[in-house]
Structure 1
């Protein structure tokens, strides 16, 4: 952004110098008998200060205080008054007019030819100062363009800031929804173990304690270590194993280097939770697959579960999964690919995330 602004400033400066140098090119190309004397220097300085003043007066006062304030009538009246002043003063004509001429060698006096009128001393002046009018209009147009672009940049910055604040607020709301929903399912599992007086209840409570510590201490952060997220996943899978029957076959596999990587909390957990929520049946055989591969800055999560006939007519995306999809859009825009496949028999999710 700063490089772009510096480039624009350089282009604007070069354009201004070129506009102010235009009278010089016209002056030296107008008549070879003119020379650049003290009078021309003074008039050229006046010419430059006049149009630089017009530019800054328009940019700093007229445009922001009149045009942007929607005082269009006053704005255009002031511009017409300035243009009328330029037409009357004729600054370029005053600059280019030079009573002094280079002394030229005089030929010997001869009798002038009969009936031949002497050549005119100077070409007639135009009715209006075209160059001054053109320079005035150009200064106004450049000023309007620069100020309009500046206002557009400010508007875009405000819009982006508002969108960022909205995304952050919505993301905080989504996190608040995900955590209680996730915890609710886990407590149901522990409750089932306690009712059956399972010997693994104590270890399950410890695993739940680790998960709750993760939820309370880490899940509120923007990022957590990938190893922490996977540890939470592993505890969750272990808790689920305790309540499942032999009809359910679980393939849980973690491969690759999971150290020194950061990820948004509960992004992976929601998809793992979805596998158990919709893929477990106590009446038919089930196959659940959860595989995670971490390579360089890319992680891939593959989840697959057979569809429980008792739940296939239910809405597949629960609160946690639907919110996680939204979070992916906010946190990893253009950095993730989520493929969902549902053939009414098997439900598959393939998620790839490019971590920063």
Structure 2
């Protein structure tokens, strides 16, 4: 026997699940319910006579009533009303309603009003403009009920999704704080500081300031969904400067910026993670001279980020191993949370000499935007 919780979950899935099979089931159930309700009204008004005829009439007319509702909900409202084309919406709403009424009378052969509202029925006059307008008014009432039900369901669904995203965002930020900063980075920096204090004590204060800046940035900025791209660039510049202490002349790094990056905001720590990933899997395993290249191209509506690194010679590592672990997947999960569908693209490429990560962000949907109304 199902528990109350399991029943509630199934009901919630039936009402809110957007997959095709659930949507089809919902519409079929809705159609059957409307047919049943109108059939019972017509049957009772006929003093309980001729149930088959009542079912036939309401089945035909329900197609037109629901058709008017679907055209209004999924075409007229999103394409005209929500885009501010109110006059066009009203005009098309009335024209389509009148046209469907005329078509309905042709199909049903004046049966519906003769059965349901005999007090309004005049033989031979059912196709008059007056009766088409009366029928349009009746269909408009049904459409209004459908709109209220649709908007109520969408509001509840949107609130559920918003709360779910808030929880996911909070969890993602927690994972970010716990995992993005490689512990080896701190250990190596401390060792480098110790060695530098012995060999070049005059540079110690400079390095300490860079470490403080990085740690402060990670703690403070990681709490935000989006931060300034210029600040992210400053973060990796400080980070690469510290890594050069470790590798010396073995590491060559360049950061190239094209276009105006001042107006861009991106998720925090993205550049840091990509640069750290490249150094970790490229420079740390290479006994020779390795390189890291960061290219940032800003366009009016698109931001392209490319981070590339040299591949260690004779390591036998594949591209999958170069981005091993959950690091890159965690980054994709964060982008999925912060950007709507098609808001970004993430590609990984490699050849014998280098490993490349390309990230493209779209400015027009740089924040969670409204989804297409459907």
TM range (shorter): 0.5 to 0.7
Q: Of 308, 313, 336, which residue of structure 1 is paired with 2:344?
A: 336
Q: 1:161 to 1:304 in 2, by over 3 A?
A: same
**What pairs with 1:107-122 in structure 2 (closer than 5 Å)?**
none
Offset at residue 229 of structure 1 (A): 1.2
User: In the alignment, does 2:282 pair up with 1:279?
Assistant: yes
Task: Give the match for residue 346 of structure 1.
Answer: 354
Offset at residue 130 of structure 1 (A): 9.5
Q: Of 246, 249, 255, which residue of structure 2 is paired with 1:246?
A: 249
User: In the alignment, does 2:11 pair up with 1:4?
Assistant: no
> Residues 25-67 of structure 1: CA distance to partner in whole angstroms, max 9, x if unpaired?
xxxxxxxxxxxxxxxxxxxxxxxxxxxxxxxxxxxxxxxxxxx
Task: Give the match for residue 288 of structure 1.
Answer: 292
Report the secondary structure of 1:257's partner residue.
Answer: coil
Task: Give the match for residue 228 of structure 1.
Answer: 231
User: In the alignment, does 2:117 pair up with 1:86?
Assistant: yes
Contact 1:278 1:311 (8 Å CA) reproduced: no
TM, length-normalised to structure 2: 0.57
Offset at residue 245 of structure 1 (A): 4.0
> Residues 115-151 of structure 1: CA distance to partner in whole angstroms, max 9, x if unpaired?
xxxxxxxxxx68x999899888765554334422432
The structure number with the bigger radius of gyration is: 1
Task: Give the match for residue 177 of structure 1.
Answer: 175
Structure 1 Cα separation of the partners of residues 295 and 270 of structure 2: 15
Task: Give the match for residue 159 of structure 1.
Answer: 157
Task: Give the match for residue 261 of structure 2.
Answer: 258
Report the secondary structure of 2:261's partner residue.
Answer: coil
Report the secondary structure of 1:283's partner residue.
Answer: coil
Structure 1 Cα separation of the partners of residues 261 and 127 of structure 2: 73
For structure 2, the 5+ residue unaligned runs are: 1-76, 103-111, 365-374
CA-atom RMSD in angstroms = 3.9
Structure 1 Cα separation of the partners of residues 208 and 335 of structure 2: 31
Task: Give the match for residue 312 of structure 1.
Answer: 317
Q: 1:158 to 1:183 in 2, by over 3 A?
A: same
Offset at residue 336 of structure 1 (A): 3.0
Structure 2 Cα separation of the partners of residues 344 and 153 of structure 1: 55
Q: 1:17 to 1:245 in 2, by over 3 A?
A: closer
Structure 1 Cα separation of the partners of residues 152 and 187 of structure 2: 52
> Residues 314-352 of structure 1: CA distance to partner in whole angstroms, max 9, x if unpaired?
361444432222233333443433331023642111223
Q: 1:153 to 1:17 in 2, by over 3 A?
A: closer
Structure 2 Cα separation of the partners of residues 168 and 293 of structure 1: 31
Offset at residue 230 of structure 1 (A): 1.0
Report the secondary structure of 1:196's partner residue.
Answer: helix
Structure 1 Cα separation of the partners of residues 353 and 243 of structure 2: 22
Contact 1:261 1:297 (8 Å CA) reproduced: no
Structure 2 Cα separation of the partners of residues 12 and 282 of structure 1: 68
> Residues 207-226 of structure 1: CA distance to partner in whole angstroms, max 9, x if unpaired?
12112222233232232222
Q: 1:86 to 1:312 in 2, by over 3 A?
A: same
Task: Give the match for residue 363 of structure 2.
Answer: 355
Does 1 or 2 have the higher relative contact order (CA < 8 Å, sep 6+)?
1
